[in-house]
Chains A and B, each alone.
Chain A
Amino acid sequence: MSAPPASPPATVRALWARTGTTGLVYLALGLLLVLSTLYVASRGENLFTTANTVDLFTRSSLLGFLAIGQTLVILCRSLDLSVGYVAALSTVVAATVMAGDPARVPLGIAATLGLAALIGLANGTVVTWLRVNPFIATLGTGLIIKGYLDTNFQGPAGAIPSAFQAFGYTRIGVFPVSTLVMLVLAGAAVVFLHRTRTGYHMYAVGGDAEVARLSGVRDRVPVITAHVLCSMTAGMAGLLLASRFGTGSALVYNNGYELEAIAAVVLGGTYLLGGRGGVAGTIAGVFILATLDTVFNVLAVDPFVKDVLRGVIVITAVAIYARGRPSRSAVRVRFPSGGPPPPAPPSDPGAAPAPVTSGTEGGGR
């Protein structure tokens, strides 16, 4: 993280830009918590009863799994609309493979995550090698899965052994185990993005695939990796859903998880066109949405009004971020903390030094 002192202004500004956005999101989360506590209190209710807090954390765990993966994909300037369907398929696979037998739990988990990874691989391959717009590619994958589920699983399928159902229900204090697992996963994702080469390459490819490629990054690998990881987190979300329901239910794709995950990512300050943002912000976005849901629940808001408010909130949030970013190039310093900063302002983007510098940087890590 420690930036070399070579070019202080750019580095400082970049650090500010990044912590600035994430800080803003956490500030918004804190503000939301305070405001909603006060508002709920003024209605004579308590937002932070044990039940409500557990509810909040439980909501955030499911959405968190989906949003972490989605963050990686969006950072690569891709998108995954299939996560809801992958999660639904995962509940079915987990429940049918486990078939109520505790001894088959590891097998069930492996099968679920393996299948999810394969779907992610397919998504990534279609996006990178066939050059299909990610929106369309993953929508297509989702529709294919939907057709399969609709045709073969009309009702609940399989059974989850009670040993694995504990994953959905156990909690330590007010923290459900699933939320802790989600937070650990988020931590791992942060480390992955900021400490590994593939993580850096994701930012690079998301920022500008062509420039990344010219700089010696294999531009397809990070995108495929992101898609595989995203589908696997969707698989985990499916495992969580299955452990809560105790059975595989194909119809969970109706809940619009993919849109909610994208909303969380975008609320968290990750730029929808790739290259900027991170998992830390996403987690704040997840908690913002979960808090809103909990507040709506406590206040017994009509579920349809919830949809309206959610739509308005997401649009507003994105509009605010777009506002705070008047000039796109001003905030697009790509490697704020790793490697040498780009050579002093190359007026010609195609100037020769750029690839050389970045190439040694990539190789040196």
Chain B
Amino acid sequence: MTETPARRSAPPALPSALGRGGTATVLLILVLIFVVIATQNPSFFQGPPLMAFAKKAAPLVILAVGQYLVIVSGEFDLSVGSLVGAQVVIAARLIDGEEGMTLPVIVLMLAFGVLVGLVNGLVTTFLGVPSIITTLGMMLVLFGAVRFWTGGAPTGSLSEAFRVPGRGGIEDLPFLGQLPWAALIALALTVGAVFLMRSPFGRSLMATGDNDVAAAFSGVRVRRVRILAFVGSALMATVAAILIGGYAGVTAQVGQGLEFTAITAVVLGGVVLGGGRGTVVAAALGALTVEALFTLFNQLYLPSTIQPSVQGLIIIAAVAYAARRGDLRPPGRPRRRPDHEPEREPGTPRR
């Protein structure tokens, strides 16, 4: 928080910004990957393939934006992958092919998302459970509960209307062909999140992630802000679930591992784990970069099983690169008061 305003008001010269590990860096990487893709497959930029890419990448962008809200407030949300899976299965089971059920079920899914986010947030803030454990537990609970409910394998089917956001789009555009709804939704949510982060709430969120004690002393309601971040993440996961369900249909594996892909994307965007640093746009660009990299692998005919390895390398390299910048605070280790602090501050927020 201390550096951000200065950095924003006076944008540094481009070359130094490129090496900074922020938005510019991830943009550079994205452009590089696109260039390589273009050399492999020159037709990639002819509209339809690009739009297909956008459609495929949209859910991850949305998940990354949701994960960004939580990470920037200094927490983790590992439950999003399970939540996506749960929501898709819920949708299939409740809609069961009936068109009329589409809208009510979507409303119900959003409500369920809010509920999951609230539970995550309340348990993390009021019960003082570290968010890794809370959301891991939530991941197990959702995973088990949904499978128990459906008897192990997803049942039912989605309606055509439900599949429109994930599959459809504005058809017959001149050059582009189809402009997918998914891409528009992702774009709208990203822009919305950008404005959210500029609002008082966004500033409070950033301040909370940077130093929650200082934020609390400056009048931020740290707990409420964090709970809202979890709710935001769960809602984003719900929207992503609608898109993924529409795009890929219902399987038992939907959503598996998505939380880690989303975290990879956010981290690749230079958002610092532990909170307080990074931008929405960078997180969204990180998601695009991860997806572009997977596309590139497909084009190079690399086995898809190697994707996890690459994801692992990226995630380590990105965080190491961000840590290299010489921050006094190692990322992920929240700044705390010294241990010898006299024990006379009841009611201070956790940490």
Residues of A at under 8 Å CB distance from B?
Answer: 77, 79, 126, 130-137, 139-148, 150-151, 207-209, 211, 259, 262, 266, 272-273, 302-312, 314-315, 318-319, 322-323, 326-330, 332, 334, 342, 345-347, 349-350, 354
Q: Are B144 and A349 in contact (CB under 8 A)?
A: no
Are the CB atoms of A150 and B305 closer together than 8 Å? yes
Question: CA–CA, A327 to B345, complex, Å?
Answer: 8
A129 to B274, CA, bound (A): 18
Query: Of B307, B311, B323, B338, which is in contact with the most chain A CB atoms at under 10 Å from its CB?
Result: B338
Provide the residues of chain B in CB contact with A311, threshold 8 Å: 136-141, 144
Interface residue B339 (Cβ < 8 Å from any Cβ of A):
yes
A332/B308 contact (C-beta < 8 A), A136-B332, A304-B152, A319-B128 known: no
List chain B residues, Cβ under 8 A from A77: 333
Q: Smallest distance from the beta carbon of B60 to chain A beta carbons, Å?
A: 16
User: For residue B346, which residue of chain A has the nearest CB?
Assistant: A327
Closest A residue to B331 using CB positions: A133
Question: Please, which residues of chain B bring their CB within 8 A of the CB of A130?
Answer: 316, 319-320, 323-324
Q: Does A329 contact B323, Cβ atoms closer than 8 Å?
A: no
Extra contacts besides A131-B331, A150-B308, A318-B127 (13): CB < 8 Å: A133-B319, A133-B331, A135-B76, A136-B332, A146-B308, A147-B312, A307-B141, A318-B130, A322-B350, A323-B127, A329-B340, A332-B339, A349-B338
CB distance from A26 to the nearest CB of B (A): 21
Contact check, A307 vs B305: say whether CB atoms are below 8 A apart: no
Contact assessment for A304 and B339 in the assembled complex, using a CB-CB cutoff below 8 Å: no
Chain A residues with CB under 8 A of B340: 329, 342, 345-346, 349, 354
Q: Is B306 an interface residue (CB 8 A)?
A: yes
- Kindly identify, within residues 150 to 177 of chain B, every residue whose CB is under 8 Å from any CB belonging to chain A: 152
Knowing A136-B319, A143-B260, the reply to whether A307 touches B144 (Cβ < 8 A) is yes
Give complex CA distance A328, B19 in Å.
Answer: 39
Cα distance A332–B320 in the bound complex, in angstroms? 30
Please state if A143 and B308 are interface contacts (CB–CB under 8 Å): yes
Complex contacts, A307 vs chain B, CB 8 Å: 140-141, 143-144, 147
Which of B134, B324, B338, B345 interacts with A208 by CB under 8 Å? B338
B273-316 interface bits toward A, Cβ cutoff 8 Å, 1 = contact, 0 = none: 11000000000000000000000000000010111111111011
- 7 shortest A-B CB distances, which residue pairs? A147-B309, A307-B144, A133-B332, A143-B312, A311-B140, A322-B128, A349-B338
Interchain CB contact under 8 A, A349 and B339: yes
Given A134-B332, A323-B127, A314:B137 Cβ within 8 A: yes
* Inter-subunit contact A319/B141 (CB<8 Å): no
With contact pairs A308-B144, A319-B129 given, residues A133 and B137 touching in the complex (Cβ less than 8 Å): no
Q: How far is the CB of A168 from chain B (nearest CB, A)?
A: 27
Measured CB to CB, the closest approach of chain A to B153, in angstroms, equals: 11
Q: Is B3 an interface residue (CB 8 A)?
A: no
A/B interface sample: 19 pairs, CB < 8 A: A130-B324, A139-B263, A139-B315, A140-B313, A141-B316, A143-B315, A145-B312, A150-B305, A151-B303, A208-B338, A259-B136, A262-B136, A310-B140, A311-B141, A312-B137, A315-B133, A318-B129, A319-B129, A345-B340
Docked Cα-Cα span, A79 to B332, in Å, equals 12
CB-CB under 8 A from B132, the residues of chain A are 79, 135, 272
Asked if B35 is at the interface of the complex by the 8 Å CB criterion, the answer is no
Do the beta carbons of B342 and A347 come within 8 Å of each other? yes
Taking CB atoms, residues of chain B closer than 8 Å to A136 are: 263, 267, 273, 315-316, 319, 332
Interface centre among A147, A266, A309, A349, by most chain B C-beta atoms within 10 angstroms, is A147
A211-B333 Cα distance, complex, nearest whole Å = 14
Contact A135 B332 (CB under 8 A): yes
Residues in B whose Cβ lies below 8 Å from that of A312: 137, 141
Q: Which residue of A lies closest to B127 (CB)?
A: A319
Once A151-B305, A207-B339, A349-B340 are accepted as A-B contacts, the answer to whether A273 and B133 lie under 8 Å apart by CB is: no
**B315 neighbours in A (Cβ, 8 Å):** 136, 139-140, 143
Chain A residue nearest in CB terms to B256: A254
User: What's the nearest-Cβ distance from chain B to residue A314, in Å?
Assistant: 5
Contacts of A211 in B (CB 8 A): 338-339
> Which of B144, B309, B339 is within 8 Å of A334, CB to CB?
B339
Instruction: Give A141's nearest chain B residue, CB to CB.
Output: B312
By beta carbon, the residue of chain A nearest B326 is A131
Q: Mark B321-351, 1 if CB is under 8 A from A, else 0.
A: 0011000001111001011111101100011
List of B residues within 8 angstroms of A328 by Cβ: 350-351
The reply to whether B339 and A208 contact each other, CB–CB distance below 8 Å, is yes
Q: Contact: B320 with A131, CB < 8 Å?
A: yes
Residue on A nearest B312 in the bound complex, by CB: A143
CB nearest neighbor in A for B147:
A304
**A147:B148 contact, CB within 8 angstroms:** no
- A16 vs B8: C-alpha distance when bound (angstroms): 51
With a cutoff of 8 Å between Cβ atoms, the chain A residues found around residue B141 in the complex are: 307-308, 311-312
Nearest chain B residue, comparing its CB with the CB of A79:
B132
CB nearest to B314 among chain A residues: A140
Partner of B309, one of A132, A148, A303: A148
